[in-house]
Amino acid sequence: MANLTLVYGMRLLPADEVVSVGEAPVALKNGNEAHVTMHVLEGSREQIEKQLRLSIDAFFDFYPEI
């Protein structure tokens, strides 16, 4: 299998300050553009960490071949 690149970003903001979250564009070598869906997790540090771990596990469940 070819090497892969996992694209992600994280930033903590006050929960009551976030109005909306959009997609993040990714420019590809072939001139095409891909989009990364951004996800929002809210709660205490412990709750966010738990949700993030579950989300990562679920993400890789979509790709059982890797």
Cβ–Cβ under 8 Å, residues 54 and 41 = no
Cβ–Cβ under 8 Å, residues 42 and 48 = yes
- Of 43, 25, 42, nearest to 34 by C-alpha is 25
Cβ–Cβ under 8 Å, residues 29 and 17 = no
Q: What is the pLDDT of residue 1?
A: 65
Q: What is the mean pLDDT of each run of 10 residues along the chain (66 residues)?
A: 84 92 94 93 94 92 84
Tell how far CA 63 is from the center of its chain.
15
Cβ–Cβ under 8 Å, residues 25 and 35 = yes
Q: What is the pLDDT of residue 2?
A: 78
